[in-house]
Amino acid sequence: MKAQSFTQARQAAPAAHHGHPHESARLHVAGEATYVDDIRELAGTAHAALGLSTQAHARIVAIELDAVRAMPGVIAVFTAADIPGTNDCGPIIHDDPILADGVVHYVGQPLFAVVADSHEHARRAARRAKVSYEPLPAVLDPLQAKAQNSFVLPPMQLVRGEPAARLAAAPRRLRGSWQVGGQEQFYLEGQISYAVPREDGCIHLWCSTQHPTEMQHVVSHALGLAANQVVVEMRRMGGGFGGKESQSALFACVAALAAARLRRPVKLRPDRDDDFMITGKRHDFHYEYEVGFDDEGRILAARIEMVARAGFSADLSGPVATRAICHFDNAYYLADVDIRALCARTNTQSNTAFRGFGGPQGAVAIEYIIDSIARELGRDALDVRKLNFYGGAGRDLTPYGQRVEDNVIHELVAELEADSAYRERRRAITAYNAGSPVLKKGLALTPVKFGISFNVAHYNQAGALVHVYTDGSVLVNHGGTEMGQGLNTKVCQVVAHTLGIALAQVRATAADTSKVANTSATAASTGADLNGKAAEDAARRIRQRLADFVAQRHGIDADAVRFADDHVHAGAVAIPFAECVQQAYQARVQLWSEGFYTTPGLSWDRSTLTGRPFYYFAYGAAVAEVLVDTLTGEWRLLRADLLHDAGNSINPAIDVGQVEGAFIQGMGWLTMEELWWNKDGRLMTHAPSTYKIPAAHDCPAEFHTRLFRNSNHEETILRSKAVGEPPLLLGFAVLFALRDAVTAVGDGRSAPPLRAPATPEAILDAIDAVRAACAHTAAEPQP
């Protein structure tokens, strides 16, 4: 195929609701896409490295930096004392020092920055500091923090109905404790910032961040500048996954500080180990629960306390815990509930956003509970799940008071159950396990319901700027950031669709705080919902001006002017878009516009944790089948079937990619990614050598992914639904398939206490527990 026919094929395809390739796909595979470290360095660029704390909690008695300064190539060393403004880069509560001041709170906390003529020189010099500490008691375990009443925020609690009375009255009850681990974002491109001093004390910052506006704020506060003196630019990230929502701030501030002080360009790119040691991760959660249910498995009341490892500071732990509370229901109606969340302060990295933002930790808990109920009753877990779904009279109100109005979980699960041949495979697996003493198979179907919108209402806004040039080509800038998720592609599709032109005519530029101001983080999966709407608004304004212009010229009604197929249609006349634009320019019509959008209908009462935090819900379900070696605890995912609701998808190709990627990332979190700190609080799993994420061979040989045929019942951008985070919860199916396989070691009734991540070690522990329980039952005298 000639290169040209590719372009022609793209031009022929409709702009929206079509699987166009990612806007940078060709640049990605050719190695030509520019990431921050690929920006050609300006003459005189210096390189920074950070010196890190070796203590989990200690008073700094002295920092000896002469040996650092004496190292080859060193230009300067900076500590907290060199920060002219405020030494803080916390996103909400201001408890995050840029450089440690007096006390260190975790192993890995940055103490100083050394700037040298090369990256290598800076790194070597950073190791030469002599720091003397006076140790303070360190808390490394969230449950220990809870015992000491040490939290970064006040406890949160959501109570509906009379959970205590209903629990006491329930015919059956289960109680227990459980835990899920944290997760390292492991973006392929690490944190990086490149700061360049500009005239009159201004700073230009290239920063790999999901939140350019926040970087503008923290840098201006740290340097004592006005916001209009700081420009942050971000073309693309090599992944963010939440890890660059707030925690790009420290790197931005240090690079900007050094650039401002030295009046030369400074780049800060920590290597992978330092990135792991410095930055926060997904919060690990520890649960204590009690559930009351009837003989069929219908939940009557539930109580749960969730303790999250916040780390040493608040960061985003508050909104993460809120989202966990608002997702404990997942797809289930819970009449009487008591949900508590505690953000434990520990002397470890400050945990932060990670795809799902506490939602996965909330929802996985109810899935574990339902799975346990099913095993207790000897029922197929799918039947117990269905019994508890939202739906039916009086069963559509979430614990936080929002009505579920767009519920499709019944149809969606029924479709997946049939397509994946769930029942037939269940029978086949039971037969297989009966004849296979060592290898055991497991099967699970888990549902997802995920709320879309920032749970902080004012973040739900976006702006865009669309330029139509006189040759008919279009440039769009918006408040969102591209991290591989295809946001720019979708926004370009929206603009092309609105103007009736080919996608190839529209280009997106870097996010830039000097173009669109006061942007929200690209997070909470709202990137396309918010920025797509803002860009549509801008494109519509231009389209209206063109329509008015054409209508006047041709003596017809502006409403009768249509924009399609690269043409402006005025009655029988079809003017090529570029020609129309040229004519409009000559007639002095404004050919560019801003656009703005706010999500309607949201409300939230932080004191009662009630309201309408979400504009709508996204749904999905997954079936996973695993094969476990019960002698080694090793396993394989044999087959996965995913069915996910992306509404009327703007780009089904990109959305399928998001669904599959999120599923695998969710599976990694719950099965193989294990964070481990030693007794001194040092993170020992700080590189791919010790921290295992899923690789290509962990994808199932049989992998079926489909988008559920749906449309958003709310008037979202082209009736699509957000897709970035919700499918991460599809990975639950793998964990519960593993639990199913482990259960098969025993009598099928005892629910094994399988912790997550379900590493081979955890699987073997669970198998031991099942065997012990069976031996115990067998030894009991029969009645």
Q: What is the DSSP string of 126-139?
A: HTT-EEEEEE----
Q: Which stretch binds ligand LUZ (CB under 6 A): 366-374, 448-456, 532-540, 649-657?
A: 448-456
Binding mask 402-441 for ligand LUZ (x = CB under 6 A): ----------------------------------------
Q: Is 526 in the site for ligand MTE (CB under 6 A)?
A: yes
State the nearest-atom distance from the C-beta of 37 to ligand MOS, in Å: 21
Which one among 53, 209, 522, 716 touches ligand MTE, defined by CB under 6 A? 522
The listed partner (ligand MTE, ligand LUZ, ligand MOS, none) that binds 108, CB under 5 to 8 Å by sort, is none
For residue 309, the surrounding DSSP H or E stretch is: strand 299-311
Q: Is 354 in the site for ligand MOS (CB under 6 A)?
A: yes
Q: Is 239 in the site for ligand MTE (CB under 6 A)?
A: yes
Strands, E assignment, 72-215: 74-78, 103-104, 110-116, 130-135, 156-160, 172-180, 193-197, 203-207
Q: Is 258 in the site for ligand LUZ (CB under 6 A)?
A: no
Binding mask 633-672 for ligand MTE (x = CB under 6 A): -------------------------x--------------
Q: Is 525 in the site for ligand MTE (CB under 6 A)?
A: yes
Q: How far apart are CA 535 and CA 612, in angstroms?
A: 25
Q: Residue written as tokens 């098969």?
A: 744
Query: Contact, 104 vs 255, CB < 8 A?
Result: no
Which one among 725, 740, 743, 762 touches ligand MTE, defined by CB under 6 A? 725
Q: How far apart are CA 686 and CA 678, in angstroms?
A: 12
β partners of residue 629: 439
Active site annotation includes 64? no
Which one among 353, 369, 445, 621 touches ligand LUZ, defined by CB under 6 A? 353
Q: Which stretch binds ligand MOS (CB under 6 A): 215-223, 348-356, 553-561, 567-575?
A: 348-356
Q: Is 247 in the site for ligand MTE (CB under 6 A)?
A: no
Q: How far apart are CA 232 and CA 66, in angstroms?
A: 34
Which one among 523, 580, 623, 707 touches ligand MOS, defined by CB under 6 A? 523
Q: How far apart are CA 267 and CA 214, in angstroms?
A: 19
Q: Which of residues 303-332 bind ligand LUZ (CB under 6 A)?
A: 316, 319, 323
Q: Which stretch binds ligand MTE (CB under 6 A): 34-42, 478-486, 503-511, 625-633?
A: 478-486
State the nearest-atom distance from the C-beta of 658 to ligand MOS, in Å: 12
Amino acid at 592: W
Q: Is 242 in the site for ligand MOS (CB under 6 A)?
A: yes
Which one among 455, 489, 519, 649 touches ligand LUZ, defined by CB under 6 A? 455
Nearest to 470 by CA among 350, 387, 613, 581: 581
Q: Can you list the alpha helix ranges (DSSP code H) found in 378-444?
A: 381-388, 409-419, 422-434
Q: Considering beta carbons, is residue 83 or 521 the nearer one to ligand LUZ?
A: 521
Which one among 98, 99, 353, 448 touches ligand MOS, defined by CB under 6 A? 353
Which residues 6+ apart lie within 8 Å of 658 measured at CB?
485, 486, 723, 724, 727
Binding mask 486-525 for ligand LUZ (x = CB under 6 A): -----------------------------------x-xx-
Q: Which of residues 310-369 bind ligand MTE (CB under 6 A)?
A: 355
The listed partner (ligand LUZ, ligand MTE, ligand MOS, none) that binds 485, CB under 5 to 8 Å by sort, is ligand MTE
Q: How far apart are CA 384 and CA 297, in angstroms?
A: 6
Q: How far apart are CA 472 and CA 502, in angstroms?
A: 11
Integer CA distances (angstroms), 129 to 57, 77, 123, in order: 18, 11, 12
Q: Considering beta carbons, is residue 336 or 529 the nearer one to ligand MTE?
A: 529
Q: Is 240 in the site for ligand MTE (CB under 6 A)?
A: yes
N- to C-terminal Cα separation, the chain: 77
Cβ atoms within 10 Å, residue 701: 10
Q: What is the DSSP string of 600-633?
A: TT-EEETTTTEEE--SEEEEEEEEEEEEEETTT-
Q: Residue written as tokens 């020609």?
A: 579
Over its C-alpha atoms, the chain yields an Rg (Å, rounded) of 28
Q: How far apart are CA 301 and CA 293, in angstroms?
A: 7
Binding mask 527-556 for ligand MOS (x = CB under 6 A): ------------------------------
The listed partner (ligand MTE, ligand MOS, ligand LUZ, none) that binds 746, CB under 5 to 8 Å by sort, is none
Beta pairing, strands 592-598 & 461-468: antiparallel
Q: Is 456 in the site for ligand LUZ (CB under 6 A)?
A: yes
- Catalytic residue (choose from 674, 725, 761, 780): 725
Sheet with 561-564, edge to edge strand ranges: 561-564, 567-570, 573-576
Both structure tokens of 660: 């599959």
Q: How far apart are CA 314 and CA 351, in angstroms?
A: 8
The listed partner (ligand LUZ, ligand MTE, ligand MOS, none) that binds 454, CB under 5 to 8 Å by sort, is ligand LUZ
Q: Considering beta carbons, is residue 722 or 763 the nearer one to ligand MOS?
A: 722
Q: Which of residues 178-237 bind ligand MOS (CB under 6 A)?
A: 210
Residues annotated as catalytic (active site), given as ranges: 725
- Contacting positions for ligand MTE (CB under 6 A): 239-242, 355, 483-485, 487, 522-528, 658, 724-725
- Contacting positions for ligand MOS (CB under 6 A): 210, 242, 245, 353-355, 357, 523-524, 725
- Contacting positions for ligand LUZ (CB under 6 A): 245, 316, 319, 323, 353, 357, 454-456, 521, 523-524
